[in-house]
Every structure is written in C-alpha cells, then in structure tokens.
C-alpha cells in the first residue's frame, strides 16, 4: 500500500527524551524554519486527490493533538477520514490525554483509522492504559526506544510496532533483548506486529 505523509499539522515541541532526535525538528533547525505547531487547512483535500487506496500518516513528524491545534480543525480532519473509507489513516500522539478527552466528548473514530500512542520505555506504559479508553482501533508504537519496556498489558490493542532509531547523526542504540521481549509479549497476547527491526546495535 502506498504510504503518504498527510501534513495537516507541522511543527511540534519536545515533551520526552524520545523527541531529542526527531528528524523533522533537526530538518527545521537546519533550514532555520519556524517549528511552532501550525495547522494546514490547505492540505485537507489531499486524500481526495489520490484515488489509489493509501495509508496516510496523519501529521507526520508533528502531533494532531498538540494543545495549540483547535478542536474545530481536528474535527475537520476526522470528517475527511470518514469521507474516504478506501484509505487508511494512522493518527499518532504522545499527548494521549488530550486524544482521549476529545475522543470521549467530540470525536467519532472511523473504522479506517487507528488511534496510536508512543511508548519509548517503561515509564511511559501508562499511555497504553489511556489509549484503551478510546473507542477506536488501537495501535502502540514502541519507540523510538530509549530503554526497556518490560512487562506490558496489551489487551485491547490490535497492532504494535517497534521503532529502532536509525536516523540523525547519533542514533541511540537498542538492546536486542528489549525488542525480543516486546515481540514475545505481542505473540503471547495475540497482537499483530506491524514493524520489527531485528538488527540492533547493542547499547552498553
């Protein structure tokens, strides 16, 4: 399936160490562009312009649920997703609390969209508990991994992905056993693996 970045929002801001090597941030910094979050209504029509069924990465390198993005604009994005059932949409956020609150009060998730949160290491596993509260198809992105995740409850999660950092001048190393531990738990809990990188440079 064709993968399309749908940049309805650009820019972001750091909230965890997992953000430190964000390729979008470093690209903006290199080009001296403004990295403050901005909504882009002019690209809302993009899914209509592509007839071939495609996977749209919503606000790639940014966050649709950043606090500065207005609810009215988020609702417009969701309306576009509903109007294009032949496409598939991945909506990822580290601001899972706002995603959950707005989903409970204002947003109806279509079947062709996944609600996704990132878990970079064990101390962010609480995001999965909040993700489970959202009435949507759910996915967890483990990464970019900055530490061991450990035992994790994946009930209610349809898909999981492991992201090993391979970008930037100094990609952070990941222990193979961290990745294998997640894989084995996904297998045991019947969670589909979307992406798995088995060749990891061992960290110290």
Residue 139 maps to a domain: yes
pTM: 0.88
Q: Is 79 within the bounds of a domain? A: yes
Residue 14 in any domain: the answer is: yes
What pLDDT does 113 receive? 98
> Is residue 203 situated within a structural domain?
no
Containing domain of residue 54, as a range? 2-195
List of residues 6+ apart from 199 with CB closer than 8 A: none
Q: Are 4 and 46 in contact (CB under 8 A)?
A: yes
* pLDDT above 70: residue 203: no
Q: Smallest Cα–Cα separation from 145: which of 116, 167, 117, 174?
A: 174
**pLDDT given at position 108:** 97
pLDDT digits (tens, 9 = 90+) for 29-80: 677 877 688 999 999 999 999 999 999 999 988 999 999 999 999 999 999 9
Question: What percentage of the chain reaches a pLDDT higher than 70?
Answer: 86
How far apart CA 112 and CA 46 sit, in angstroms, is 16
Strand pairing category for 159-162 and 192-195: parallel
204 assigned to some structural domain: no
pLDDT digits (tens, 9 = 90+) for 151-200: 999 999 999 998 877 666 677 788 889 999 999 999 999 999 986 444 44
User: Is 60 domain-assigned?
Assistant: yes
Neighbouring CB atoms inside 10 A of 41's CB total 10
What is the CATH number for 164?
A: 3.80.30
Total of domains in the chain: 1
Indicate the pLDDT class of residue 26, thresholds 50, 70 and 90: low
Q: What is the pLDDT of residue 122?
A: 96
DSSP string computed for 117-150: EE--SGGGTHHHHHHTTSSSEEEEEE-S--S---
Q: What is the pLDDT of residue 59?
A: 93
Place of tokens 């649920």: 65
Cα separation values, 19 from 25, 70, 115, 118, Å? 9, 23, 19, 11
Q: Flag whether 36 is in a domain.
A: yes
Looking at residue 27, its pLDDT comes to: 67
Instruction: Tell me, yes or no, whether 202 lies in a domain.
Output: no
Q: SS3 helix, strand, coil % of the chain, rounded to 5?
A: 30, 20, 50
């Amino acid at each position: 399936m064709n993968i399309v970045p749908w940049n309805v929002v650009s820019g972001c801001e750091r909230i965890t160490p997992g953000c430190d090597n964000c390729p979008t941030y470093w690209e903006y910094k290199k080009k001296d562009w403004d990295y403050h979050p901005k909504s882009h209504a002019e690209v809302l029509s993009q899914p209509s312009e592509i007839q071939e069924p495609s996977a749209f990465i919503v606000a790639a390198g940014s966050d649709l649920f950043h606090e500065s993005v207005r609810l009215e604009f988020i609702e417009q994005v969701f309306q576009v997703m509903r109007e294009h059932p032949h496409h598939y949409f991945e909506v990822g956020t580290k601001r899972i609390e706002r995603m959950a609150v707005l989903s409970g009060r204002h947003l109806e998730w279509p079947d062709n969209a996944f609600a996704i949160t990132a878990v970079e290491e064990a101390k962010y596993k609480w995001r999965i508990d909040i993700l489970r509260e959202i009435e949507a198809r759910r996915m967890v992105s483990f990464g970019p991994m900055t530490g061991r995740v450990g035992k994790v409850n994946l009930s209610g999660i349809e898909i999981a992905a492991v992201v090993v950092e391979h970008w930037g001048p100094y990609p952070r190393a990941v222990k193979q056993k961290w990745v294998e531990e997640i894989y084995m738990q996904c297998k045991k809990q019947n969670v589909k693996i979307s992406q798995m990188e088995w060749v990891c440079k061992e960290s110290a």
